[in-house]
């Protein structure tokens, strides 16, 4: 493993480098979102950093002020397995079919997936091309993907790896990455790597949480160590255009609480820019995504949201209700730490990822238990810490509902559903 560097604090934009970054939201000191703790670890001190989001008024990129070294986040044991959600599985089937039908054009040219995780998308892509390569630095999830017979390189994607891939396999007809681009601090390096490895008619596709959805839904829990950037079509277009690339299509997608699928290519590629791109640029300008005031107003709404959630939980506790957490998500770490919710409020957090069982939530030390424990003795309320999966979870937990159980969600404001 590479040497772990101290967290850099940046008050300059990571994209423009010389322009100022304006911090607008401070969520306080925060542990690593996916650093679930063992019984021994809860008595030891935890690594924390100051979780703040900032806005660059030059390129409009919203980003973390202080970042955590990726070697601390994505190494031998990464806690999140993409295959845990059946809804996401269907979503990736749809993406693979779109790629197979509309994007791929030459079986000899490789398809490269960045952030393959346990191979959920790569396996589907392998049904459309004989030449699919996955890039996945976290060893445990990469191993899960290899078990499916997939070709996975266990490294971080960067300019150096892109040059080696191009030398070994030739230029790519597609580079695709879901929920990974916003995780890579050196975005300029990614843009250069794309420019270097894409074929003249090659396409890149990225899916990431969409800034406009985060703002409108008040989804502040998308802000955590792994998400270094919060993209708009405006900020991404400016970044790519600096490096000879352009966006030709965007599609809002209803995953992870509101994401954007962005399609791009080299500047000289034959694909025309579709009207939907301009429509989004206009909508973003009209919402005020280029103005610092919009972000200050968002931060104010986040502070109100914390008050409404803690008041609701206090009220339920006062009534003697049993409340538990449902889904030990990364977002949960942000909500629980920012709102100061611990084991005195939530009896446990249940989750369907076996490797999280027996561990404790980062910073707040709530025990994580299998879903079976929830079903054995239903509580009165289940606070859904992966609100993006509320529909899927609610459908699975019909019996809980039938027996009078209720879910709590805090997005966009605290409510019982
Ligand atoms: P979920 C992760 O976010 C991290 P997280 C990462 N940074 C990112 O961007 C997205 O994924 C892609 C549990 N669960 O998907 C399983 C149930 O218990 O919102 C997981 O522990 N029952 C890469 O962690 C957690 O929720 C269920 O029925 O916020 C996943 O949360 C379902 C559907 C999930 O991702
Ligand atoms: N694509 C999957 C996984 C998202 S989780 C999905 O949408 O569900 C993000 C994944 O990206 C993790 O498995 C992490 O190890 C990986 N990752 C982080 N930085 C990366 C980089 N620089 N290059 C390639 N993968 C990276
Ligand atoms: Zn900038």
Pocket test residue of 183, 187, 209 for ligand 2, highest count of atoms within 8 A of CB: 183
Cα angle at 316 between 312 and 320, to 5 degrees?
165
Choice from 261, 330, 398 to test ligand 1 binding pocket (greatest atom count within 8 A of CB)? 330
- Using alpha carbons, list the distances in angstroms from residue 303 to 251, 335, 340, 396, 413: 31, 12, 13, 32, 11
- Please tell me whether the overall predicted TM-score, pTM, comes out greater than 0.95 for this model: yes
Q: Is the CB of 388 within 6 Å of ligand 1? A: yes
- Cβ atoms of 335 and 28 closer than 8 Å: no
- Answer yes or no: is the C-beta of 330 below 6 A from any ligand 1 atom: yes
Cα(190)–Cα(196) distance, integer angstroms: 10
Phi and psi of 410, rounded to 5°?
Answer: -115, 5
**What does the pLDDT average to over 340-350?**
98
Is 156 close to ligand 2, i.e. is its CB under 6 Å away? yes
Rounded to the nearest angstrom, the distance between the alpha carbon of 307 and the centre of ligand 2 is 33
Query: Taking residues 219-237, what's their average pLDDT?
Result: 98
pLDDT-derived band at 398, boundaries 50, 70, 90:
very high
Structure tokens at 16: 């423009």
| The predicted structure's pLDDT at residue 20 | 87
In this predicted structure, what is the pLDDT of residue 18?
76
pLDDT-derived band at 303 (thresholds 50, 70, 90) equals: very high
Q: Is the pLDDT of residue 1 over 50?
A: no
For residues 91-100, give the mean pLDDT.
98
Joined tokens for residue 313: 């939980």
β-strand partners of 263: 205, 249
Give CA–CA dist 197/189, Å, rounded. Answer: 12
Rounded distance from Cα 12 to ligand 3 centre (Å): 8
Any ligand 1 atom below 6 A from CB of 224: no
In the predicted model, what is the mean pLDDT of the chain? 96
CA angle (108 as vertex; 105, 113 as ends), nearest 5: 75
Ligand 3 geometric centre to CA of 200 (Å): 28
Q: What single string gives the DSSP state of each residue in 204-265?
A: EEEEEEBHHHHHHHT-GGG-STT--EEB-HHHHHHHHHTTTEEEEEEEEE-STTSEEEEEEE
Chain-centroid distance, C-alpha 112 = 19
The pair phi, psi for residue 136, each rounded to 5°, is -150, 105
Burial environment of residue 330 by CB neighbours within 10 A (0 to 12, 13 to 18, 19 or more):
buried
298 burial type by CB count under 10 A (0-12 exposed, 13-18 middle, 19+ buried)? buried
How does 167-192 read in b/e, with b if 16+ C-beta sit within 10 Å?
eebebbbbbbbbbbbbbbbbbbbbbb
**pLDDT tens by residue, 73-86:** 999 999 999 999 99
- Mean pLDDT across 315-329: 97
Residue 67, preceding peptide bond in cis (omega within 30° of 0): no
Using CA atoms in the order 325, 329, 335, 338, what is the torsion angle rounded to 10 degrees?
120
Ramachandran category for residue 91: left, alpha or beta (phi over 0 → left; psi -120 to 50 → alpha): alpha
60, pLDDT greater than 90: yes
- Residue owning the nearest CA to atom 30 of ligand 1: 329
371 Cα nearest atom in ligand 1: 18
pLDDT of res. 4: 52
Mean pLDDT of 304-323: 97
Is the minimum distance from the CB of 256 to ligand 1 under 6 angstroms? yes
């Amino acid at each position: 493993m590479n040497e772990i560097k101290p967290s850099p604090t940046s008050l300059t934009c990571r994209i423009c480098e010389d322009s100022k970054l304006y911090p607008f939201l401070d969520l306080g000191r925060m542990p690593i979102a996916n650093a679930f703790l063992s019984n021994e670890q809860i008595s030891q001190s935890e690594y924390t950093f100051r979780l703040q989001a900032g806005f660059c008024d030059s390129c409009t990129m919203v980003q973390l002020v202080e970042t955590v070294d990726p070697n601390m986040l994505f190494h031998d044991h990464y806690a999140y397995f993409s295959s845990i959600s059946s809804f996401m599985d269907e979503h990736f089937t749809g993406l693979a079919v779109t790629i197979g039908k509309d994007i791929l054009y030459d079986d000899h040219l490789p398809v490269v997936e960045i952030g393959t995780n346990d191979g959920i998308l790569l396996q589907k892509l392998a049904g459309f091309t004989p030449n699919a390569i996955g890039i996945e630095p976290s060893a445990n999830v990469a191993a899960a993907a290899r078990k499916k017979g997939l070709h996975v390189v266990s490294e971080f994607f960067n300019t150096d790896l892109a040059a080696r891939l191009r030398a070994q396999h030739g230029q790519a007809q597609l580079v695709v990455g879901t929920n990974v681009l916003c995780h890579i601090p050196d975005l300029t390096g990614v843009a250069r790597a794309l420019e270097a490895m894409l074929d003249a008619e090659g396409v890149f596709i990225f899916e990431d949480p969409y800034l406009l959805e985060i703002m409108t839904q008040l989804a502040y829990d998308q802000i955590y160590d792994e998400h270094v950037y919060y993209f708009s079509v405006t900020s991404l277009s400016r970044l790519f255009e600096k490096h000879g690339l352009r966006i030709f299509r965007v599609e809002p997608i209803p995953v992870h609480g509101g994401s954007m699928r962005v399609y791009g290519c080299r500047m000289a590629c034959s694909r025309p820019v579709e009207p939907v791109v301009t429509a989004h640029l206009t909508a973003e300008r009209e919402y005020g995504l280029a103005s610092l005031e919009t972000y200050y107003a968002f931060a104010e709404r986040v502070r109100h949201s914390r008050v409404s959630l803690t008041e609701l939980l206090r009220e339920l506790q006062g009534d003697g209700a049993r409340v538990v957490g449902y889904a030990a998500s990364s977002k949960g770490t942000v909500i629980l730490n920012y709102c100061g919710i611990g084991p005195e409020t939530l009896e446990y957090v249940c989750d369907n990822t076996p490797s999280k069982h027996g561990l404790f939530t980062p910073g707040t030390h709530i025990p994580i238990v299998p879903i079976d424990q929830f079903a054995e003795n239903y509580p009165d309320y289940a606070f859904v810490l992966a609100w993006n999966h509320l529909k899927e979870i609610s459908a699975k937990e019909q019996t809980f509902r039938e027996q009078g159980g209720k879910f709590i969600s805090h997005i966009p404001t605290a409510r019982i559903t």
